[in-house]
Amino acid sequence: MSEAALSSAESQSLHRIAGMMIPASAEYDIPGADDRLIFADIVGSFGRDLGDVRTALAALSTLAGGSFADLDEARAASLLEQFLASGSTSTSVLGRVILQCYYRDDRVLRSLGLESRPPFPKGHTLEQGDWSLLDAVRARPKLWRDDRKVLR
């Protein structure tokens, strides 16, 4: 799905929302969701979510009485909080669309101590653990009911 799927006004509103929902952080040295690369990933990844995203943006635009992108900071923050509190399906989808692109960005993953790669083919290492922890369980009598004895 290309960015053209959203109008310019919708795209501007989404860009502002993304940056407010997940802002950049100097403390963690990470971009916000309005970062150029991440935002391009978001608008390129709507797929079957496009309808819900547009519904969410339309609802926010109605709340704003016009373009959300043009609101002053205080008003935008207040409206976004109200919008997110609505708990609608389209709001949840909008949030997920942003999150699923943000948390696959190389820079974000590195800041979390994760390798930026698919799980396959490298996989991961998992320690066996201490199987002697089972000793206490092994000593227990059986827990299951044997119908052959109970119903004899």
Partner 1 sequence: MSRNGMVDVLIIGSGASGAAVAWSLAETRMRILCLEQGDWMKHADFPSNGHDWEARRYGDFDISPNRRARATDYPINDDASPMKIANFNGVGGGTIFYTAHFPRMHPSDFRVRSLDGVADDWPVDYWTLEPFFAENDRMMGVSGLAGDPGVPSRNPPMPPIPLGKTGMIYARAMNRLGWHWWPSDTTVATTEYDGRAACINVGHCTPGCAQGAKASTDITYWPRALRAGVELRTRCRVREITTNEHGMASGAVYYDADGMERFQPAEVVILACNGIGTPRLLLNSASARFPNGLANSSGLVGRNLMLHPWPQVTGYVEDKVDGSRGPMTCMWSKEFYETDPSRGFVRGYTLQFARGTGPVNEAVTSVAAGRLPWGMDHHRVYRQLLDHRLQIGIACEDLPEEHNGVTLDPVLKDDHGIPAPRIDYTISENTRRMMEHGIARAEQILTEAGASNLYASRTVLNSPGHLLGTARMGNDPERSVVNAWGRCHDVKNLFIVDGSIWVTSGGVNPTSTIQALALYVADSMKQRLATLFD
- The nearer residue to partner 1, 28 or 66, going by C-beta atoms, is 28
Minimum distance, C-beta of residue 15 to partner 1, in the bound complex (Å): 15
Phi, psi of 30 (to 5 degrees): -135, 150
- The nearer residue to partner 1, 36 or 145, going by C-beta atoms, is 145
- The nearer residue to partner 1, 74 or 121, going by C-beta atoms, is 121
- Residues near partner 1 (CB under 8 A) are 20-23, 25, 27-28, 30, 45, 47-49, 80, 84, 92, 95-96, 99-104, 109, 112, 114, 116-131, 133-134, 136-138, 140-148, 150-151
- The nearer residue to partner 1, 7 or 25, going by C-beta atoms, is 25
Q: Report the alpha-carbon distance of residue 112 to residue 28 in Å, rounded.
A: 9
Minimum distance, C-beta of residue 8 to partner 1, in the bound complex (Å): 24
Minimum distance, C-beta of residue 97 to partner 1, in the bound complex (Å): 9
Provide the b/e sequence for 54-84 (b: ≥16 CB within 10 Å): bbbbebbbebbeeebbebeeeebeebbeebb
Q: Read out DSSP for 53-72? A: HHHHHHHHHHHHTS-GGGS-
Minimum distance, C-beta of residue 41 to partner 1, in the bound complex (Å): 9
